[in-house]
Amino acid sequence: MLFTILLFSSKMPSLAVKLYSIFFKFQQRYMLHNLTQNPVHAVDPFGITSRREESTAASNPSFYEGVATKDIHIDPFSSLCIRIFLPATVVNFDPTTIIEDKSKDGAFIYSGYSPQAGTKHKKLPVVLQFHGGAFVGGSNDSVRNDAFCRRIANLCDVIVVAVGYRLAPESRYPAAFDDGLKVLNWLAKEANLAECGKWMGNGNGNGRRRADAHVFDGFGASMAEPWLAAHGDPSRCVLLGVSSGANIADYVARKAVEAGKLLDPVKVVAQVLMYPFFIGSNPTASEIKLANSYFYDKSVCMQTWKLFLPEEKFDLDHPAANPLIPGREPPLKFMPPTLTVVAEQDWMRDRAIAYSEELRRANIDAPLLEYKDAVHEFATLDVLLQTPQAQACAEDIAIWVKKYISLRGHEFSY
């Protein structure tokens, strides 16, 4: 089997991309300068998940461009939040109800998709998505991340749960990694609540309602997220990380392996690492040759690592930074199938390639997709989202992911 595929497209980067890269780097350096000037007491345990410089897209619980979205703040002790992307294919299978919830004075009206109770619903796999931004920027509700997640939801026919993890330096390591794992555990809790709701509502499957079902209605059913309860299939869960989000995804995958059946009914069946934000103390060939590459050059990324990693334990061979340090647990042979996407003009590419090779040596299905003339975040950066190469990358990801999320008898070949 050919594990490494070099994908060609129209010549990139173009002059426009090169010029925008200069402007982008200026913005990054200006933001990093401001962040480094923050006093120590500005550190906030509650954290933030977005910066005011980030353009955000409002959620829309009605189906817009084939996808409905909603935002949920899932942790009362931090700013951790999620955005759910639900594709309109659930409507084609299951008739919807549009709810209008009016307050007593008639001032508030809510309209959006709500699954009908007591009917059969189409179940979709769940993709946990972790955005990029070098741990210090980006957000799950940014315009670019919203557009990318909509694309993935439509192409893969999945529910995408985009994680709004806490940003550094307000919340240094391990905050973002803990947030990723917390969302996976939240997904398991929601799935179990949904199952309890079915059991309490229908008795022992004979269609009759239990006499004490009102107790659950009051204390449990109202807690279950309705879109995920009706349409989510957590036994087909995929992790998808973009840039620094890929580091988080890989960490969550490792923790899922260690947890095993404790996460039931959630099962991580695959992960996708898009141009991972890996680094190490011993520079690779690409880290030397492409150190001043487009958008995220090495000097800028070094500053972000200094803002993210613990100050007293700064080490480029930290487990959050270097996936190839010896002694990491669990052994690679237990990792889920892993698709790695790299860009030819990305200085971080060599370490991602090396990690993919190590996974294959451990007999893991770990194909590598390398895109010629592409730059870091070529498929997710706002200015590049509509390019043919970005669209092709999302389609390539969908083809591979469907091999692991398709129901038995409907598998895709790859």
- Catalytic positions: 243, 346, 376
Among residues 306, 398, 322, 340, which one has the least CA distance to residue 3?
340
Among residues 178, 321, 340, which one has the least CA distance to residue 270?
340
CB 271 within 8 A of CB 249: yes
The helix (H) or strand (E) run that includes residue 233 is: strand 232-242
Tell me which DSSP letter residue 64 carries.
Answer: B
How far is the C-alpha of 102 from the C-alpha of 40, rounded, in Å? 46
Among residues 36, 54, 30, 28, which one has the least CA distance to residue 294?
28
The helix (H) or strand (E) run that includes residue 129 is: strand 124-130
Specify the 3-state DSSP secondary structure of 196: helix
- Residue 286's DSSP bridge partners are none
| CA dist 383 → 14, 56, 60 (Å) | 12, 15, 23
Give the helix ranges, DSSP H, for 94-174.
143-156
Give the residue carrying structure tokens 């309209």. Answer: 111
How far is the C-alpha of 194 from the C-alpha of 222, rounded, in Å? 10
**Both tokens assigned to 218:** 């009051």
Tell me which DSSP letter residue 142 carries.
Answer: B
